């Protein structure tokens, strides 16, 4: 009898130990928690660019278009180019480009500059037609003699086709010397610190992305040096005596105030 009891006790202990081992094994081989998903920096840049694209597109599509006889550029492409440059270059007011709120304001201000300078995003301004037509007009210049006997030459716009004359009446790109929606003249741009130099020739300015890059860089330098957009619009003059920029700047004020009205407008 004793042996029977001892055998039963031994079996119970073996079963109990086996269950404990099984539970222990199950705990040890349990699948680990999935690792956290880290978003690569390139994806973050794309996400910010997409957000900026949406912001500027939803904004500029609310602005008045040119008159019906003046075709407007593809605003989706315009907004995409603005967003790309703002994300690559950072805010007009400086910084490292991580302040998304400043980048939103930057894209809207860039759009506002292009709206006024580029005849409300007229297609003939943005695609370079304006410059090509004016180059043709300069092949047939018109000579004028002023009362003071000064000789003045003007482009022969009257010799161009009627449609071209009609469109150029809405803006002739500073005689054909200003390019793109930014209406930027050829220039060598230098950062106020002297650390960066960019050469914007006619070919580069006819590239829509590079034209917007010039817009942002010129506007940034203007704010750094003068605190407004007068360096972009060319309205203030430098006074060596006071070492300051002075003078009225209605165009600079107009562009900035226009953009500011849209900075805090809720978007869908």
Q: How far is the C-alpha of 253 from the C-alpha of 234, rounded, in Å?
A: 12
Enumerate residues 6+ apart whose C-beta is below 8 A from 267.
54, 55, 58, 59
User: What value does the mean pLDDT of the chain take?
Assistant: 84
% pLDDT > 70, the chain: 80
- Coil, helix or strand at residue 208: helix
Q: Which residue has the higher pLDDT, 266 or 146?
A: 146
C-beta atoms surrounding 1 within 10 Å = 5
| Position 217 pLDDT exceeds 50 | yes
Q: What average pLDDT does the segment 196-217 reach?
A: 98
What integer pLDDT is reported at residue 176 of this predicted model? Answer: 97
What integer pLDDT is reported at residue 90 of this predicted model? Answer: 93
What integer pLDDT is reported at residue 244 of this predicted model? Answer: 72
What integer pLDDT is reported at residue 155 of this predicted model? Answer: 94
| Position 53 pLDDT exceeds 90 | yes
Q: How far is the C-alpha of 179 from the C-alpha of 175, rounded, in Å?
A: 10
Query: Where are the domains positioned within the chain?
Result: 41-128+180-262, 129-178
Q: DSSP label at 65?
A: P
What integer pLDDT is reported at residue 26 of this predicted model? Answer: 38
C-beta atoms surrounding 72 within 10 Å = 16
Confidence of residue 19 (pLDDT cuts 50, 70, 90): very low
| Position 228 pLDDT exceeds 70 | yes
**CB of 119 closer than 8 Å to CB of 73:** no
Q: How far is the C-alpha of 111 from the C-alpha of 92, rounded, in Å?
A: 12
Q: Which residue has the higher pLDDT, 69 or 239?
A: 69
How far is C-alpha 218 from the geometric centre of its chain's CA atoms? 13
| Position 191 pLDDT exceeds 50 | yes
Q: How far is the C-alpha of 131 from the C-alpha of 122, rounded, in Å?
A: 13
């Amino acid at each position: 009898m004793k042996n029977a009891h001892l055998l039963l006790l031994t079996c119970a202990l073996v079963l109990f130990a086996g269950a404990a081992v099984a539970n222990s094994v199950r705990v040890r081989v349990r699948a680990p928690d999935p690792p956290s998903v880290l978003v690569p920096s390139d994806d973050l840049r794309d996400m910010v660019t997409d957000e900026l694209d949406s912001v500027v597109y939803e904004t500029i599509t609310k602005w008045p278009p040119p008159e019906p006889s003046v075709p407007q550029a593809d605003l989706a492409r315009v907004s995409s180019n603005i967003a790309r440059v703002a994300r690559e270059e950072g805010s007009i007011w400086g910084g490292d480009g991580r302040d998304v709120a400043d980048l939103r304001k930057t894209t809207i201000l860039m759009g506002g500059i292009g709206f006024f300078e580029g005849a409300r995003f007229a297609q003939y301004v943005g695609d370079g037609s304006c410059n090509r037509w004016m180059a043709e007009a300069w092949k047939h210049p018109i000579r004028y003699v002023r009362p003071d006997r000064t000789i003045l030459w003007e482009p022969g716009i009257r010799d161009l086709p009627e449609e071209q004359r009609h469109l150029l009446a809405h803006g002739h790109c500073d005689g054909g010397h200003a390019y793109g929606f930014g209406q930027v003249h050829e220039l060598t741009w230098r950062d106020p610190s002297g650390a960066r130099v960019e050469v914007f020739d006619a070919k580069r300015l006819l590239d829509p992305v590079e034209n917007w890059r010039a817009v942002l860089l010129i506007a940034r330098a203007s704010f750094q040096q003068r605190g407004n957009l007068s360096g972009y619009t060319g309205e203030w003059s430098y006074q060596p005596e006071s070492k300051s920029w002075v003078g009225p700047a209605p165009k600079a004020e107009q562009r900035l105030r226009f953009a500011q009205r849209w900075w805090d407008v809720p978007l869908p």
